[in-house]
Amino acid sequence: MRKALMVGVALLMATPSSLVAQVPPPLADVAKAWGSVIASPPDAGADAYFHAAIARLAGRLATTRAMLAAVDRAALTPKARTSAALLQAQMDGLDFQLRVLKPWARDPNFYATVIAEQSDVPAHEGSFASVIDLWRYRYPLSVADARRLDAQLSDIPALLDAARTNLAGSTAHDLFAYGSRAFHDQAETLARFEAGTLELRSLEGRRTADLTGEGRRLLPAIRAARAASERFAAWVEAEAPKRIGPSGVGRANYDWAARHVYLSRYDWAAQEVLLKRELARAWAGLAAEEVRNRGLPPLAMPTDPAAFDRASAERAQRFTRFLIDKGFLADTPYYRAAVPAQLVRWTPPAQRNFFAHVVAVDPLPLYSHFFHWTELARLANEPNADPIRAGALPFNIWLDRSEGVATAMEEIVMQAGLYDDLPRARELVWIMLANRAARGLASLYVQDNRMTLAEAGRFHARWTPRGWSNLASPLVAFEQLLYLRQPGYGASYIVGKVQLDDLIASQSERAARAGKPFDLAATIRDLGKPGVIPLSLVEAEPESSGP
């Protein structure tokens, strides 16, 4: 049994020859050594997250830091310097995990490892032990895959038993108070997996996991993992009243991560200003739209589920055609398929969370945020030649870049004309922006230990227009817990959006000085060429994006 310190890591799997081919030799040596650090488990057995194993990992981090420090960055090309900065950010990301977050010792959700859906961002949001991505498998299972998955699932009871010891010293109240839901959900996922009704979601769309044939061998492991998940949920619930300390990392640590891990110029205080401004702008924008649209009939999606799904599919196709026709995307089969594969379905009124309320009016604005899936299609079909930046950067280093661009696209396509014949849909864009700003602002206060998660949820709901965000909604609890677990995530939607505005402004101003036209659509289309990397580094490679 092996438990890896994955912490949301997409591993550097490039061969030494490809590293040498794409990266200068001194940097290639560092990248190769670093890849072995984050790809290798810190130890074998259920004690993988105990202090001795973590200390050994810290020692390997120090060794690779010294190797990177010895590289003469002044002698590197601009692109190689960007890759060196990415390696530095990754090492700082692991350092932040080891010094501050310590999720294996503070956060029960670190041990929720069974995942049925691919994230719409490059890697899993937050920090986790060895993840079991059910969606990565082909069903019915082959003999080899059935054996591998059986071994993974069989490890869960021992992992959760070890978690009780690893978490013994945690005083983070909110991480425990909100920490059991993930394990009830994991148990439910495993129950549906056993029953043959589990729906999997990935870039390819939705499918059902089929445990016929070789899959039947998994049933004992599934049942044991399900029971262990429920026992662990009960343990977390019993422990929560005993854990009475703060859960946020504090402003100084937040600022350090913003600067060193996410390579952002905006610290906690600047982010508070930005989010307050966007929250006010969103409410003001909505008010202006409502004046403009006064007298227009309300938007009306079908209420019959089958008719709704047909209309929703048309909206997904409409958004994709708009992106291609306007030049935001190249016309390729994988870009054409990316968003329509993520069909947004009808939800009964009593079961609607915030986004289901939006979708019930019109799913098109939410599909605009699904620009995410086109970026995943790019990662899968047009990987960067530099293996350091070819895939998903570890430690959620991509968060401002990924969530910020997807949020920005909501407003960009609105201004580019997507709703010219649907003016009331513009109201939904402002409502979604207000929601993202409200929940991000609340998350800042949680990290600064000025709000509990319950208080953050109330703030989040209060400042979301039309009463569409409910404090009792599982979505609100999930989002605020995620933003507590991963500092910077809650604000990233707005902070990344602002960073994209900064990039567009600098690209446009440079074009104007050169007497050249500026093409926003081309800038967005080329944005992924350097990889899904922090936008501050994209600015350092202006030849990779825009004129």
pLDDT in tens, 334-390: 999 999 999 999 999 999 999 999 999 999 999 999 999 999 999 999 999 999 998
- Tell me the mean pLDDT in the region 454-471: 96
Instruction: Say yes or no to pLDDT of 420 above 90.
Output: yes
Cα angle, residue 110 at apex, residues 104 and 112 outer, rounded to 5°: 140
Rounded to 10 deg, the angle between the 399-415 and 425-447 helix axes is 160
Q: How far apart are CA 348 and CA 352, in angstroms?
A: 7
Residue 39 pLDDT: 78
- Tell me the mean pLDDT in the region 306-329: 98
Tell me the β-bridge partners of 114: 132
Whether residue 10 is contained in a domain is answered as no
Confidence band of 38 (pLDDT split at 50, 70, 90): confident
Per the CB < 8 A criterion, the answer to whether 258 and 190 are in contact is: no
Whether residue 438 is contained in a domain is answered as yes
> 3-state SS of 122-188?
CCCCCCCCCCEEHHHCCCCCCHHHHHHHHHHHHCHHHHHHHHHHHCCCCCEHHHHHCCCHHHHHHHH
- Tell me the mean pLDDT in the region 291-309: 95
Other beta carbons within 10 angstroms of residue 420's beta carbon come to: 9
Whether residue 347 is contained in a domain is answered as yes
Instruction: Say yes or no to pLDDT of 45 above 70.
Output: no
Whether residue 327 is contained in a domain is answered as yes
Residue 482 and residue 509 share a domain: yes
Reported as half-sphere exposure (CB side, CA atoms, 13 A), residue 152 has a value of 18
Residue 135 and residue 96 share a domain: no
Q: Which amino acid is at 464?
A: T
Instruction: Provide the 3-class DSSP secondary structure of residue 404.
Output: helix
Helix (H) or strand (E) holding 201: strand 199-202
Residue 518 and residue 392 share a domain: yes
Please state whether beta strands 132-133 and 114-115 pair in parallel, antiparallel, or not at all (unpaired): parallel
Residue ending a domain, choose from 242, 260, 293 = 242
Per the CB < 8 A criterion, the answer to whether 47 and 155 are in contact is: no
Residue 277 and residue 219 share a domain: no
Cα angle, residue 250 at apex, residues 249 and 251 outer, rounded to 5°: 130
Q: How far apart are CA 355 and CA 136, in angstroms?
A: 26
Whether residue 11 is contained in a domain is answered as no
Whether residue 467 is contained in a domain is answered as yes
Which pair of tokens denotes residue 444? 């800042």
pLDDT in tens, 519-538: 999 999 999 999 999 999 99
Whether residue 247 is contained in a domain is answered as no
Prediction pTM value: 0.93
Residue 67 and residue 172 share a domain: no
Residue ending a domain, choose from 101, 124, 158 = 101
Residue 267 and residue 171 share a domain: no
Residue 420 and residue 404 share a domain: yes
Instruction: Say yes or no to pLDDT of 545 above 50.
Output: no
DSSP state for residue 330 in the 8-state scheme: -
pLDDT in tens, 126-169: 999 989 999 999 999 999 999 999 999 999 999 999 999 999 99
Q: What is the mean pLDDT of the chain?
A: 92
- Tell me the mean pLDDT in the region 395-408: 98
Q: What percent of the chain has pLDDT over 90?
A: 88
Rounded to 10 deg, the angle between the 268-292 and 489-513 helix axes is 80
Residue 271 pLDDT: 98
Residue 456 and residue 414 share a domain: yes
Residue 175 pLDDT: 98
Residue 259 and residue 232 share a domain: no
Confidence band of 476 (pLDDT split at 50, 70, 90): very high
Residue 235 and residue 208 share a domain: yes
333: containing domain: 252-544
Residue ending a domain, choose from 185, 217, 242 = 242
- For residue 250, CA distances in Å to 151, 163, 171, 176, 246 come to 39, 25, 15, 18, 9
Residue 536 and residue 389 share a domain: yes
Helix (H) or strand (E) holding 489: helix 489-513
Tokens 């984050």 belong to: 38
Tell me the β-bridge partners of 202: 205
Residue 130 pLDDT: 86
Other beta carbons within 10 angstroms of residue 50's beta carbon come to: 17
Residue 258 and residue 116 share a domain: no
Per the CB < 8 A criterion, the answer to whether 547 and 510 are in contact is: yes
Confidence band of 48 (pLDDT split at 50, 70, 90): low
DSSP state for residue 278 in the 8-state scheme: H
Whether residue 31 is contained in a domain is answered as yes
Other beta carbons within 10 angstroms of residue 138's beta carbon come to: 9
Which pair of tokens denotes residue 328? 């935001």
- Tell me the mean pLDDT in the region 432-440: 98
Rounded to 10 deg, the angle between the 489-513 and 399-415 helix axes is 60
Rounded to 10 deg, the angle between the 156-166 and 143-154 helix axes is 30
Q: Which amino acid is at 102?
A: K
Number of domains in the chain: 3
Residue 17 pLDDT: 36
Using the Cα atoms of residue 454, residue 459, residue 462 and residue 463 in order, give the sign of their dihedral: negative
